[in-house]
Amino acid sequence: MHIGTIVTAGIENKAFTRSLEEHGYSLISVDDIDAVLNITVPFDIMLIRGELLKEINHAVLEHLYFVNNSTPVALLFTDTTSIPATLIKKLQNSSLDILYDFEIEHETIYQRIDRFFINAKLNDHLTTLQEKFLMQKSLEKEISLREQILNHEREVNANIIASITAGLIIFDINGSTIVANEPVKQVLKNVSTDIIGSSYKALLPQEMSELVENVMHEMNAEDTRPYVKKCKIADTYYEVYCYRMLNYHNQPNGILMLINDITEQESMNVLLYRSEKLATVGTMLSGIAHELRNPLAIISARIQRALTKKTYEPEWLKKSFTSIQTQASRCASIVNSLLNFTRNTATNAGYHKIAEILDETLTYVDYQNTFDNISVEKEYDKDLMAYGDRSRFVQIFLNLITNAADAMEGNGTLTIRTSLESPYSTRIEINDSGPGMSEKIRAKIFDPFFTTKEPGKGTGLGLAIVYKIVQESNGRIWCQSHPGDTSFFVELPSEKERSYDSKNIARR
């Protein structure tokens, strides 16, 4: 049976050491105190021959005491009379115990050594408890600090959420609402159910709900994109952003939705679009007036001849009235086309044939003198469709075609091509044979108020508005230009998309 390990230093009594082994102790024997410092294995008690200590001082005592993590140390003396009184006093004030040879003969020393061993184990146990206690205190302090940090973060996050003027909703990965600020409650004021804890399907209008579904479908994708959508609730316009949320381990743990009220901005955009339309109409009026003059002259001539005629043959009357009706219809068509273009119609998205919109746009510019010497070549598929607002598409093409005519100074070839870029995208190319643009000019053509025209002949807003319309139509636009060859490319969605990726609307 093994009870513990004793280190003996300078103990020469073989019978004594054997008896210690018989009592269940393992011994590590060394010759002097210095050798104790080289022992690397753990032990429970240290027993030193007292006569080895020539002088006892506090440094020696502390060194012996802490050499094995506060292991009990005992000094074994053979001659009690040889111990100086000053040494006895120092020993009594130290942590060292004193044993005597006569205790070996009376066998009382073994009981004292057992008590040393028990004290050693108690000390070890106490040290372990103290370490656990200190560790627990450290953990409690750390937990308290972390709680303070978390409470501070919660307070900061709550203040951030409360200060955001846009509506903010956070859903968990299952689509249940866990956070909603006050502006959201105004957006969803007609919702009868409680917002917190409710499913996104029960809270949100369909178009907003579909954004959440799009993010949920790409929740585990490596690089999910933010989804953006314009929505209208009653008379209010909103721009909605939907993002995937990630935790500290870069794992998806929720969905964030921001809802911005853009009603005022939308109203300003409408005014801006209308002002640009009116500016475009101003350049068309002279051509339209010329176009109206011809049918009105025919109508006037027919009526004058009818008034001077004494007899009316039925066939002649029929022919005259038919001619008057034809020319009047032509005038009405010209005026209606102009009114349709300038009318402030509400956005009404749908599927439209691009060829029909391009042909309609060409009728607007046919009346302009700048197109008299421009030949138009059509290279497009008449069945290609695009999804969006028809009037805005007309404004895009009218602006690009008019700019192309201005670039050619009324003499050249305008080529219009359409193609199916992908199953989801229709491409329209408007090419002119003008002088082209430098790279410096091409880089600025979509900037507001940038124009190469003479003062008074251009607002500098045409292409900036075109760019904005294309962006809002979930499409993209770019330009390529070389001497004698300039092309504007417009890609529009060929099917209804619920959202768009803002990264795909970058200028080329």
Q: What is the pLDDT of residue 414?
A: 93
Q: Chain-centre distance of CA 197, in angstroms?
A: 24
CATH no. of 264-344: 1.10.287.130
Q: Where in the chain is the domain with CATH 3.30.450.20?
A: 165-261
Distance CA 194, CA 435 (A): 64
Q: Where in the chain is the domain with CATH 3.30.565.10?
A: 345-508
Q: What is the pLDDT of residue 501?
A: 41
Q: What is the pLDDT of residue 499?
A: 40
* Mean pLDDT computed over 167-192: 84
- pLDDT of 382 over the 70 cut: yes
Residue with tokens 């993002």: 243
Distance CA 396, CA 429 (A): 12
The answer to whether 72 and 120 are in contact (CB under 8 A) is yes
The answer to whether 241 and 427 are in contact (CB under 8 A) is no
Per-residue confidence at 355, pLDDT binned at 50, 70, 90?
Answer: very high
- pLDDT of 412 over the 50 cut: yes
pTM for the whole structure: 0.44
Tens digit of each residue's pLDDT (9 = 90 or more) over 54-102: 655 556 656 665 555 566 777 777 766 666 676 666 666 666 677 777 7
Q: Where in the chain is the domain with CATH 1.10.287.130?
A: 264-344
* Mean pLDDT computed over 171-181: 88
DSSP state of 80: G
Domain formed by 345-508, architecture = 2-Layer Sandwich (3.30)
Q: What is the pLDDT of residue 505?
A: 37
Domain formed by 4-129, architecture = 3-Layer(aba) Sandwich (3.40)
Tens digit of each residue's pLDDT (9 = 90 or more) over 453-489: 665 455 556 788 888 888 888 889 999 998 888 999 9
Q: In this structure, which CATH number among 3.40.50.670, 3.30.420.40, 3.30.450.20, 3.20.20.70 belongs to the domain 165-261?
A: 3.30.450.20
Residue 323, CA atoms < 13 Å, CB-side half-sphere: 18
Tens digit of each residue's pLDDT (9 = 90 or more) over 5-15: 888 888 888 88
Q: Where in the chain is the domain with CATH 3.40.50.2300?
A: 4-129
Q: What is the pLDDT of residue 354?
A: 92
Among residues 349, 390, 352, the alpha carbon closest in space to that of 231 is found at 349
Residue with tokens 């907003």: 208
Distance CA 130, CA 267 (A): 73
- Within 222-313, residue ranges assigned H as helices are 263-308
Based on the number of CB atoms within 10 Å of its own CB, is 492 exposed (0-12), middle (13-18) or buried (19 or more)? Answer: buried
Tens digit of each residue's pLDDT (9 = 90 or more) over 11-28: 888 888 888 888 888 888
Among residues 125, 129, 99, the alpha carbon closest in space to that of 114 is found at 99
Q: What is the pLDDT of residue 492?
A: 92
Q: What is the pLDDT of residue 56?
A: 54
Per-residue confidence at 368, pLDDT binned at 50, 70, 90?
Answer: low
* Mean pLDDT computed over 168-174: 89
- Residue 320 neighbours by CB under 8 Å, 6+ apart: 302, 305, 306
Tens digit of each residue's pLDDT (9 = 90 or more) over 205-216: 888 888 888 888
Tens digit of each residue's pLDDT (9 = 90 or more) over 270-288: 666 666 665 666 555 555 6
* Mean pLDDT computed over 222-238: 79
Q: What is the mean pLDDT of the chain?
A: 77
* Mean pLDDT computed over 231-239: 82
- Give, rounded to a whole angstrom, the gap between the first and last alpha carbons of the chain: 87
User: Percent of the chain at pLDDT above 90?
Assistant: 7
